Amino acid sequence: MAGAGAGSGAGPAAGGRRYDPERRQRIIDAAIRVVGAKGIAGLSHRSVAAEADVPLGSTTYHFKTLDELLVAALRQANQAFTVTLPATPAPAGDVAGSLARLLGRLLAADRGRVELEYELYLAALRRPALRPVAAEWYEAVATALAPWTDPVTARALVAVMDGICLQVLLTDTPYDERYAREVLARVLRQD
């Protein structure tokens, strides 16, 4: 329990500073919540500090710029997605069907989370500091798919899966697993 009781280690340390080893992570989590609620335009050190319930100086201490904070948030969102993908068993035969089901599960589980992840991912278009992290995500997913197919096809699958997800998110249409399976099968040359 993180109480501020005597001897708990959470009270003020020498010099009056409070020892708070989880503060950086709370700030990242708060940034993700702010972007989820208000979009990237609503992200500021002040909005994140308020959401994390920390002093404003804490956000600028841990993240000098908003781009640094967005890099940390995107990296965390990437890790959440790539943890989901390798946990999926490698398909036996019907790779397209397995991937189409996976996309359906991801979109159905928490559409808001998927929207947030894409908002962070696409922010790299205007924020060059995010581009290496977006590239890391793309490479991680392609690497996770490579055992299911060859590396070139794995990269094509990532592009197609991104496109399908964006179509669903941007048009507010329901996910069509049969359509996704057919498109993915064409990339894989499966019929």
**Pair (178, 141) in one structural domain:** yes
Instruction: Check pLDDT > 70 for residue 26.
Output: yes
Can you tell me the distance from the alpha carbon of 50 to that of 83, in angstroms, rounded to the nearest whole number? Answer: 30
Q: Is 146 among the domain residues?
A: yes
Is the overall model pTM greater than 0.85, yes or no?
Answer: no
User: Strand pairing partners for 118?
Assistant: none
Q: Is 177 among the domain residues?
A: yes
Q: Pick from 69, 39, 57: which is nearest to 130 by CA?
A: 69
Domain that holds residue 52: 18-64
Q: Pick from 180, 18, 12, 17: which is nearest to 103 by CA?
A: 180
Can you tell me the distance from the alpha carbon of 6 to that of 52, in angstroms, rounded to the nearest whole number? Answer: 24
pLDDT of residue 87: 53
Structure confidence by residue, pLDDT tens digits, 133-186: 889 888 888 888 888 888 999 999 999 999 999 999 999 899 999 999 999 999
Structure confidence by residue, pLDDT tens digits, 29-64: 999 999 988 988 899 999 999 999 999 999 999 999
Can you tell me the distance from the alpha carbon of 91 to that of 97, in angstroms, rounded to the nearest whole number? Answer: 9
**Pair (86, 147) in one structural domain:** yes
Can you tell me the distance from the alpha carbon of 26 to that of 9, in angstroms, rounded to the nearest whole number? Answer: 18
